[in-house]
Chains A and B, each alone.
Chain A
Amino acid sequence: MSITSRVKKVLTGNHATAYAVMQARVDVIPAYPITPQTTIVEKLDEFIENGLLDASMIRVESEHSAMAAAIGASAAGARTYTATSSHGLLYMYENLWWAANARLPIVATFVTRAIGPPWNIWSDHQDIFTLRDTGWILFMAKNAQEAYDLTIQAFKIAENPNIRLPVGVGYDGFYTSHTSEPVEMLSQDEVDSFLPDKRAIKPLLDPEHPYTIGNLPDASFNFLIRKNMWSSMESSLDYIRKVGYEYYLLTGRNYGDLVDKYRTDDAETIFVSIGAMANEGIVAVDKLRARGVKVGHMALRLLRPFPTAEVLDVLDGADRVIVFSRALSMGKGGVLFTELADLAYRYHLDIDVYDVVVGLSGVEVVDNDFIKIFRDVSEGVFDNKETIFLLGGKYV
């Protein structure tokens, strides 16, 4: 039944997302199943069958076609949604770039999962980080509530006529996608008034004003297209903050700060992580604080555009950052590490940045991993020139 008043339900991350998409009243959902994403679109199909959502579910033959259909639907002005994971995301890859360059306000969920071979369905972040440079605005939720909240906000951000970039909401496969937890949902009326009128989406495909999309321009126009996306990305930060604070006023859950800060104010050491393992980092902070150690945790909830001002604000006063990456750039280091190291250089921060790779291929990351690294870094076991690999409490 439709949600007439605010309600708290016990939901998996995937079902929380499906509810948000239903409440956003999307028009078109082209989708292809892949674990651990599948239960999102299954739930959406159920909503359509039960008459709760008036949308077209397009059953395509592949993820490449799913994004191609999403491009067509969005270019025609429809509010469009899809979801994928891992190999599905990679099969979709070409069209994910296409959607961004064509400035189509598609919203998608990327339920993170490792990439094979060997075959693996568990979570790591290699798949979503392949989108780093595409032009998609990227969020990474740490629990089901954030998945719900960010999905609602995603439509508003994507469809802003001065932004017009696709928005992806990521979260960890199984840890978040299939784990049930209490999720507070807005009423349908609240969502309706929070989101813009979907009929205001500017169609690129318009029989009255025929255009060719993506025709061959000269090279400098292509350069300017990418530069223009950069400018929109940069200026979108202000709007993402605004939407986040509006949502804060509505729900009491603060998204306007862009980064998720935990006891960072007087922290000398700051853990940085994303997604589900951030919850473990937060537990570790509490345990270390109980021993009188000044540590804090920052979850980078927004990956692109990078929230530089907020991150600098958190790092101010700290002398050490330990970055936990669940994705590895072969021959370079942890993917998340490079983001923070770059900042330390550009802004001449007097701060040591440590590179820790954990949880690849879904290996569990627990609070004791954070504590162990903290202890060993403090004792000088590692310097910040090396990439540290921690698997199940042991260095490998």
Chain B
Amino acid sequence: MSKVLYPISKPGPGAVGKTSTWRWQKPVIDLNKCTKCGLCWLYCPEPAFDIDAEGYPVVKYDWCKGCGICYEECPVDAIEMVSEE
């Protein structure tokens, strides 16, 4: 009998290639306003955020699709969506 092949996958970055090409705008973070609350990291559906050694969010632009959820959720308006068109 052959081994069963399950349709399961381990999560990993970029399974369908760089999703940054889907984007027409990108989030840019003003670190002077950022309070390190982490909500952008939490809400990002990809996830396309890292947290650096000092606790600041860093956007992984290779995977960010530019959806703007982080911009909507940021409680101190530290994120701006900048058009790339």
Where the two chains meet, the residues of A that have a C-beta atom closer than 8 Å to any C-beta of B are 101-103, 161-164, 204, 210-217, 224-225, 228, 231-232, 235, 239
Chain A residues with CB under 8 A of B76: none
B15 touches A216 (CB 8 A): yes
- B4 lies within 8 A of A162 (CB): yes
What's the nearest-Cβ distance from chain A to residue B8, in Å?
A: 4
A215-B15, A216-B16 given; A101·B7 CB < 8 A: yes
Closest-by-CB residue of A relative to B11 is: A212
Instruction: Check A164/B4 contact, CB under 8 A, given A211-B9, A211-B10, A212-B11.
Output: yes
List of B residues within 8 angstroms of A216 by Cβ: 15-16
A224 to chain B, nearest CB (A): 6
Q: How many residues of B contact A (CB 8 A)?
A: 13
Interface string of B26-51 (1 = CB under 8 A from A): 00000000000000000000000000
| B5 A162 Cβ-Cβ under 8 A | no
B16 to chain A: closest residue by CB: A216
Q: Is the CB of B9 within 8 A of A162?
A: no
Instruction: Return the contact of B6 from the options A102, A210, A235, A239 (Cβ within 8 A).
Output: A102
Please, could you name 13 A-B residue pairs with CB atoms under 8 Å apart, sorted by A?
A101-B7, A102-B7, A204-B8, A212-B11, A213-B6, A214-B8, A215-B9, A215-B15, A217-B7, A225-B5, A232-B2, A235-B2, A239-B1
- Spell out B's residues near A (CB within 8 Å): 1-11, 15-16
Distance in angstroms from A200 CB to nearest chain B CB is: 14
Q: How close is B12's CB to chain A, nearest CB, in angstroms?
A: 10
A213 and B7 within 8 A (CB): yes
Q: Taking the nearest CB of chain B, how far is it from the CB of A233, in angstroms?
A: 11
Assembled-state Cα–Cα distance A225/B3 (Å): 11
Please report whether the interface of chain B is mostly helix, strand, loop or mixed according to DSSP: loop
| Nearest chain B residue, comparing its CB with the CB of A226 | B5
Alpha-carbon separation in the docked complex, A224 to B2 (Å): 12
Taken together as a complex, chains A and B put the C-alpha atoms of A215 and B11 apart, in Å, by: 9
Alpha-carbon gap, A163 to B4, bound state (A): 7
Residue ID in chain B nearest A75 by CB atoms: B8
> Taking the nearest CB of chain B, how far is it from the CB of A195, in angstroms?
19
7 tightest A-B CB contacts, nearest first: A228-B5, A162-B1, A211-B8, A235-B1, A231-B2, A164-B4, A215-B9
Looking across the interface, which residue of chain A has its beta carbon closest to that of B1? A162
Within the complex, what minimum Cβ distance (angstroms) separates A58 from chain B? 24
Instruction: Determine the distance from Cα of A224 to Cα of B3 in the docked complex, in whole angstroms.
Output: 12
Is A228's CB under 8 angstroms from B9's CB? no
Q: Which residue of B lies closest to A205 (CB)?
A: B8
Q: Shortest distance in angstroms between B11's beta carbon and chain A's nearest beta carbon?
A: 6
A273→B40 CA distance, assembly (Å):
63
Docked CA distance A217–B9 (Å): 9
Give every chain B residue within 8 A of A212 (Cβ-Cβ): 8-11
CA distance A102 to B4 in the complex (A): 10
Residues on B with beta carbons closer than 8 Å to the beta carbon of A215:
7-9, 15
Tell whether, in the assembled complex, residue B4 and residue A103 are in contact, meaning their CB atoms are under 8 Å apart.
Answer: yes
Report B-chain residues with C-beta under 8 Å of the C-beta of A231.
Answer: 2
A25 to B9, CA, bound (A): 31
A85–B9 Cα gap in the complex (Å)? Answer: 34
